Amino acid sequence: MGDLYAVLGINRTATSREIKSAYRRLARRYHPDVNSDPVAPSKFAQINEAYHTLIDPERRRTYDRTGSVSSAAHARQANSAAARAARRAYYQERADRIVNELLQREREETRARGKAVYTAVTLFVSTFIVAMNPGLFEPTGVFWRVTVVLLFAIGVRHLYNSLKEHLDHYTYRPSRISVTRPVRRPNKRFKRSAAWAFVIIGYLLSVSAGILIGLLTESFSAELLLGDTNIADAFLYALVYPPIAVLIVDTMYLLNLRSEGL
């Protein structure tokens, strides 16, 4: 065998920590369980012998002084122990990778769930507030009207994309019944139609509750008794402003996630 220090890729003044680090790196690379190269077993044996010679202070001093390693019997024993250690390192690394993947999926699921909740709550709450007192949201001046129209156009597109993303993530479309193909059980919890019904009914309930509370708290003017102008405004603004609110809240939520590095 050549220079044991060269086998591990370290210098002669390397510390025990550097020797262990080099060994772990090389063992994971050349272990026969993970490397199918025909030369991997012999390379792995050299790495084991170099490691067990240099990690032991007495054997290292003997090697530095004589340039020879211990007996073959001791080397075989060391190789066996090193192989077990390498297998443990390999399976430990595999377990760590599985745990990290699970944690990453859990973080992604938490982000998706949080974004879905923010979207739904913002849509319903903003609809309720606007319908309860539409006079507060009447745009004054050409500039504000143009701004509201532009934000509404952007908000509608954003709301559509957000709802589509959430529905694709959490809902499924029932497959057609076939006598020739077995029906596969969906891996998602909700039907697409049920989710759309939840969104539509929730929106209509928010509008209705807002108008009702507005009436009870006298937010509407006395002209309500003579016509339906304010109710029409309530429905109009309840269509215009909620997409803008969802756009703003979702943007703030994403900025917060980025600032936290999630």
- 84-93, 128-137, 146-155: which has the minimum mean pLDDT? 84-93
Distances (CA, A) of 114 to 124, 167, 201, 249: 16, 14, 21, 12
SS3 (DSSP) at 113: helix
Tell me how long the chain is.
262
Model pLDDT for residues 188-219, shown as the tens digit of each residue: 778 888 888 999 999 999 999 988 888 787 64
Please say whether the beta carbons of 60 and 53 come within 8 A: yes
SS3 (DSSP) at 17: helix
Q: Give CA angle at 250 (110, 219), nearest 5°.
A: 120
The tokens of 29 are what? 């690379």
Higher pLDDT, 223 or 198: 198
pLDDT of residue 142: 87
Q: What is the DSSP letter of 196?
A: H
Identity of residue 90: Y
Average pLDDT over residues 131-141: 80
Transcribe 44-66 into DSSP letters.
HHHHHHHHHHHHSHHHHHHHHHH
Model pLDDT for residues 160-179, shown as the tens digit of each residue: 998 888 888 888 877 665 55
- The count of C-alpha atoms lying within 13 angstroms of the C-alpha of 70, restricted to the half-sphere facing its C-beta, is 21
Higher pLDDT, 115 or 128: 128
CA distance from start to end of the chain: 49
pLDDT of residue 261: 62
Please say whether the beta carbons of 209 and 128 come within 8 A: yes
pLDDT of residue 102: 79
Higher pLDDT, 169 or 15: 15
- How high is the mean pLDDT of the chain? 81
Q: How far apart are CA 149 and CA 236, in angstroms?
A: 12
Q: How far apart are CA 178 and CA 85, in angstroms?
A: 54
Higher pLDDT, 184 or 100: 100
Average pLDDT over residues 9-22: 91
